[in-house]
A and B are shown apart, each in its own frame.
Chain A
């Protein structure tokens, strides 16, 4: 098997949040239809670098492996994306894998994305229901409206849009595109819209909507194809109106 084709992969590693970074190179036997996850799995079965050094298995997050859970985001060949859907056959070699550096690094490719979940709290990303008791049917919704709202609801909080945004970084408090788009989603839902002014005011605060600089990388990078920039522009319009309502007062805060 000496002539078996191998894949060379360079991985940026870091033992802990404070530790220094290093690059390690591995050679993995090639198989058709491999994805980055199966490359990493091969490495952990035999964690030895190309220079023959025994090392520790690479730490990374993954779960569903079919691009719906959002866990396995990393920067592959310079692009932030889901590693499960990154097929080796479609990538240039040698492969380089890095963690998403806009988030605090836990270990190797694992990052801490809890700030995204905190943002969801801040923007009240939920439909305020009275309770889980049987209160009959939900509101009607036109199917065509539902179709685009569904696109927004596919956001899996993977963090790729934040990683690709030049305005999300350690020097800024920008919450990033993902939670903003959720505001549009919940302000669209008939019940969610009953507190839409609260959500708009939340994103008109610190780290909110105004921090978007329209580089529009997010919409390029989003693995789910969510129209993030359309959401942001739409929220900009809503915020413009809200701004005047706030200033002059209005009886139409939620309609």
Chain B
């Protein structure tokens, strides 16, 4: 019998954890990534990772973590996987500690934990303010060990072009392209795990890395996989506005005592602390974002009339700031030029994370048999809003579930891909080659892909982020249809057959437009306010009609078919979400 093989697409935390788990079970893994995996977007996570290890005598427990997460997500998440994740969290933190992550320590040499938004407990393990980077490096190192041992083969600098699906509709591999040589190949795989991250770049500028176009997940969706809760886009309250991107200023700044304020009547006004006395600056992100947005846009009380408010750490001990928040202090100093030890930072909300993603069952299996998903590109853990420091957890946890489940799925197959005829693979390569040839020869039009993308980003940011109105959402759908047409008129300006980034981006842009439709249509149809999704016309949560997972299915017009599915709330009964009082 031929050896079974797992293909993992994406080399961030979820992909690497999947790879490790599968390799540990003796399965050969081929790992695909646009960039060397060490440069994946997971590096950008700053503040930390949650796990109820309860080291501060606060009586914290996985159940409370579970409750905080479900409540923070406004009850939109199916509860069983969230509970499983919260239960696994302490073990995952210890595992990463064993791998050598330089987590901050207490004087006794034990792991230190800090507070994050949406909880009353010190539950967040952290490595300075570059926790994501540190976790990614630890997993990268472990995978490198598996590479040396011969079980893992990396394809870095390869772009995912699509799944190879057989006549029965079962996923049997992927199509991918080498970004330098432009060679297109079909890879045989008994199962595929998508771990391709979020779609922030659809919004133009965001806190996301440049590779986070959502293109890969969009392709799988276009191939028939269901996409869930696409409209649930998290806007992070504190980012530095910038020309090329909006740089995240971690929630840990507030976890360590940072205060949000602006001037009102000539005096500092700590509006979050005033309105939410119990949680103060540590209300969940959707809440903080809406407040800042309201202060700047509606009340016009931004600092110096600009759309910014202060995030203030200047009252904190400078040495402690360096040890606990060094990474973000450095970013602010380098990119803005001011010293946060001395002056408050100027921040504004920015698109940050997609709670929605590919629909998966509790085994992380998508609706295409043989194709799994884990990490930000799946929808399963965060409901309508993600709590800070839960993303590193869900990415890694997703990998620990997807890896073994994919291997078990492979064990249950009666035929392995190496035994399949090469026809579907040859066909797949031919198809992709033709598509590529079409895009690379787009040299007649007069649209610039980057400018079109900029327009897409502006429209999406203006209409489909913090505050959403049905009229604007409807208009946006119209615009997106226009973009789809204008895309055909792009001039790639470069027909080089070697490392042609413009053509690659053009191809991704089309997938971004497809996914933008999912986000916008989902938002349009959800006539309520829940988590990150807020409509002034429907300011209340409507459990009767919308305690449901939005499910989008692709149509060639790009406007998806939307259906709904009940949410499993069997463990914690939905209750009103309100952070103005004390503990919930």
Direct contact of A and B (CB under 8 A): yes
> Which residue numbers of A lie inside 8 Å of B, CB to CB?
15-16, 31, 33-35, 37-38, 41, 44-47, 54, 56-57, 59, 61-71, 84-85, 87, 106-107, 110, 113-114, 117, 120-121, 124-129, 131-132, 134-143, 146-147, 149-150, 153-154, 156-157, 186, 189, 191-192
- Can you list 7 A-B contacts (CB < 8 A)? A33-B242, A68-B43, A68-B327, A70-B39, A71-B39, A126-B144, A128-B145
User: Are A121 and B144 in contact, with the CB atoms below 8 A?
Assistant: yes
Residue from A56, A85, A139 in contact with B334 in the complex, judged by beta carbons closer than 8 Å:
A85
Query: Which 6 pairs of residues, A with B, have the shortest CB-CB distance?
Result: A138-B97, A126-B141, A140-B109, A127-B100, A56-B494, A143-B105
In the complex, whether B175 has a CB less than 8 A from a CB of chain A is no
Q: With A57-B493, A68-B133, A129-B98 as known contacts, state yes or no: A37 contacts B498, CB within 8 Å.
A: no
User: Are A45 and B209 in contact, with the CB atoms below 8 A?
Assistant: no
- A69's nearest neighbour on chain B, judged by CB, is B39
Residue from A65, A68, A107 in contact with B244 in the complex, judged by beta carbons closer than 8 Å:
A65
Q: How far is the CA of A153 from the CA of B101 in the complex (A)?
A: 8
Mark interface residues in B391-414 (1 if CB within 8 Å of A CB, else 0): 000000000100000000000000
> Which residue numbers of B lie inside 8 Å of A, CB to CB?
20-21, 24, 35-36, 38-41, 43-44, 91, 94-95, 97-100, 102-110, 112, 127-128, 130, 133-134, 137-138, 141-142, 144-145, 147-148, 156, 180, 209-211, 242-245, 247-248, 323, 327, 330-331, 334-337, 400, 448, 450-451, 454, 493-494, 496, 498-502
Q: Collect the chain A residues with CB atoms within 8 Å of residue B141's CB.
A: 120, 125-127
Q: With A135-B98, A141-B105, A191-B100 as known contacts, state yes or no: A154 contacts B242, CB within 8 Å.
A: no
User: Are B244 and A35 in contact, with the CB atoms below 8 A?
Assistant: yes
Q: How far is the CA of A60 from the CA of B383 in the complex (A)?
A: 37
User: Are B244 and A59 in contact, with the CB atoms below 8 A?
Assistant: no
User: Are B102 and A64 in contact, with the CB atoms below 8 A?
Assistant: no
User: Are A57 and B501 in contact, with the CB atoms below 8 A?
Assistant: yes
Q: With A65-B209, A125-B141, A142-B109 as known contacts, state yes or no: A15 contacts B147, CB within 8 Å.
A: no
Q: Collect the chain A residues with CB atoms within 8 Å of residue B498's CB.
A: 15-16, 107
Residue from B128, B134, B211, B248 in contact with A66 in the complex, judged by beta carbons closer than 8 Å:
B248
Distance to closest chain B CB from A138 (angstroms): 3
Q: Collect the chain A residues with CB atoms within 8 Å of residue B106's CB.
A: 143
Distance to closest chain B CB from A120 (angstroms): 6
- A130's nearest neighbour on chain B, judged by CB, is B98
User: Are B133 and A146 in contact, with the CB atoms below 8 A?
Assistant: no
Distance to closest chain A CB from B177 (angstroms): 15
Residue from B38, B104, B243 in contact with A35 in the complex, judged by beta carbons closer than 8 Å:
B243
User: Are B244 and A37 in contact, with the CB atoms below 8 A?
Assistant: yes
Distance to closest chain A CB from B244 (angstroms): 4
Residue from B39, B104, B127, B502 in contact with A64 in the complex, judged by beta carbons closer than 8 Å:
B39
User: Are B104 and A143 in contact, with the CB atoms below 8 A?
Assistant: yes
Residue from B107, B209, B336, B450 in contact with A143 in the complex, judged by beta carbons closer than 8 Å:
B107
User: Are B21 and A132 in contact, with the CB atoms below 8 A?
Assistant: yes
Q: Collect the chain B residues with CB atoms within 8 Å of residue A140's CB.
A: 105, 108-110
Q: How far is the CA of A156 from the CA of B38 in the complex (A)?
A: 8
Residue among A33, A45, A69 having the largest count of chain B Cβ atoms under 10 Å = A69
Q: Collect the chain A residues with CB atoms within 8 Å of residue B148's CB.
A: 121
User: Are B496 and A15 in contact, with the CB atoms below 8 A?
Assistant: yes
Q: With A44-B502, A70-B38, A126-B145 as known contacts, state yes or no: A63 contacts B448, CB within 8 Å.
A: no
- A152's nearest neighbour on chain B, judged by CB, is B102
Q: How far is the CA of A207 from the CA of B323 in the complex (A)?
A: 35
Q: With A127-B99, A132-B21 as known contacts, state yes or no: A45 contacts B450, CB within 8 Å.
A: yes
Q: With A33-B243, A121-B144, A126-B144 as known contacts, state yes or no: A131 contacts B38, CB within 8 Å.
A: no
Distance to closest chain B CB from A201 (angstroms): 16
Q: How far is the CA of A106 from the CA of B496 in the complex (A)?
A: 13
Q: Collect the chain A residues with CB atoms within 8 Å of residue B128's CB.
A: 150
Q: Collect the chain B residues with CB atoms within 8 Å of residue A69's CB.
A: 35, 38-41, 43-44, 209
- A61's nearest neighbour on chain B, judged by CB, is B35
Work out how many contacts link A and B, with CB atoms closer than 8 A. 188
Q: Collect the chain B residues with CB atoms within 8 Å of residue A62's CB.
A: 210
Q: Collect the chain B residues with CB atoms within 8 Å of residue A85's CB.
A: 334-335
Distance to closest chain B CB from A14 (angstroms): 11
Distance to closest chain A CB from B317 (angstroms): 15
Q: With A33-B243, A64-B44 as known contacts, state yes or no: A149 contacts B496, CB within 8 Å.
A: no
Q: With A31-B243, A125-B144 as known contacts, state yes or no: A56 contacts B35, CB within 8 Å.
A: no
Q: With A64-B209, A137-B97, A186-B100 as known contacts, state yes or no: A57 contacts B134, CB within 8 Å.
A: no
User: Are B247 and A146 in contact, with the CB atoms below 8 A?
Assistant: no
Q: Collect the chain B residues with CB atoms within 8 Å of residue A121's CB.
A: 144, 147-148
User: Are B98 and A191 in contact, with the CB atoms below 8 A?
Assistant: yes
Q: How far is the CA of A139 from the CA of B102 in the complex (A)?
A: 11
Other than the known A31-B243, A35-B335, A126-B145, what 8 A-B pairs have Cβ atoms closer than 8 Å? A33-B243, A46-B448, A66-B245, A121-B144, A127-B99, A138-B98, A140-B110, A154-B130
Q: How far is the CA of A124 from the CA of B145 in the complex (A)?
A: 8
Q: Collect the chain A residues with CB atoms within 8 Å of residue B99's CB.
A: 126-127, 129
Q: How far is the CA of A87 from the CA of B336 in the complex (A)?
A: 9
Q: Collect the chain B residues with CB atoms within 8 Å of residue A54's CB.
A: 493
Q: How far is the CA of A44 from the CA of B109 in the complex (A)?
A: 50
User: Are B24 and A63 in contact, with the CB atoms below 8 A?
Assistant: no
Residue from A61, A128, A134, A157 in contact with B38 in the complex, judged by beta carbons closer than 8 Å:
A157
Q: Collect the chain A residues with CB atoms within 8 Å of residue B243's CB.
A: 31, 33-35, 38
Q: How far is the CA of A157 from the CA of B145 in the complex (A)?
A: 17
User: Are A156 and B450 in contact, with the CB atoms below 8 A?
Assistant: no
Distance to closest chain A CB from B92 (angstroms): 9
Q: How far is the CA of A210 from the CA of B470 in the complex (A)?
A: 67
User: Are A87 and B335 in contact, with the CB atoms below 8 A?
Assistant: yes
- A19's nearest neighbour on chain B, judged by CB, is B498
Residue from A15, A38, A64, A153 in contact with B137 in the complex, judged by beta carbons closer than 8 Å:
A153
User: Are B98 and A143 in contact, with the CB atoms below 8 A?
Assistant: no
Distance to closest chain B CB from A117 (angstroms): 6
Q: Collect the chain A residues with CB atoms within 8 Å of residue B109's CB.
A: 140-143
Residue from B103, B134, B137, B499 in contact with A16 in the complex, judged by beta carbons closer than 8 Å:
B499
Distance to closest chain B CB from A22 (angstroms): 14
Distance to closest chain A CB from B293 (angstroms): 23
Q: Collect the chain B residues with CB atoms within 8 Å of residue A68's CB.
A: 43-44, 130, 133, 327
Residue from B39, B142, B493 in contact with A129 in the complex, judged by beta carbons closer than 8 Å:
B142
Q: How far is the CA of A38 from the CA of B107 in the complex (A)?
A: 44
User: Are A136 and B94 in contact, with the CB atoms below 8 A?
Assistant: yes
- B205's nearest neighbour on chain A, judged by CB, is A65
Distance to closest chain B CB from A119 (angstroms): 11
Q: How far is the CA of A85 from the CA of B128 in the complex (A)?
A: 20
Q: How far is the CA of A137 from the CA of B95 in the complex (A)?
A: 7
User: Are A127 and B98 in contact, with the CB atoms below 8 A?
Assistant: yes
Q: How far is the CA of A121 from the CA of B104 in the complex (A)?
A: 27
Q: How far is the CA of A157 from the CA of B209 in the complex (A)?
A: 17
- A225's nearest neighbour on chain B, judged by CB, is B330
Distance to closest chain B CB from A228 (angstroms): 17
Q: How far is the CA of A46 from the CA of B280 in the complex (A)?
A: 47
Q: How far is the CA of A5 from the CA of B581 in the complex (A)?
A: 53
Q: How far is the CA of A129 from the CA of B139 in the complex (A)?
A: 11
Q: Collect the chain B residues with CB atoms within 8 Å of residue A120's CB.
A: 141, 144
User: Are A66 and B44 in contact, with the CB atoms below 8 A?
Assistant: yes
User: Are B335 and A189 in contact, with the CB atoms below 8 A?
Assistant: no
Q: With A41-B450, A154-B133 as known contacts, state yes or no: A63 contacts B494, CB within 8 Å.
A: no
User: Are B94 and A134 in contact, with the CB atoms below 8 A?
Assistant: yes
Residue from A16, A132, A139 in contact with B95 in the complex, judged by beta carbons closer than 8 Å:
A132
Distance to closest chain B CB from A157 (angstroms): 6
Q: How far is the CA of A150 from the CA of B128 in the complex (A)?
A: 8
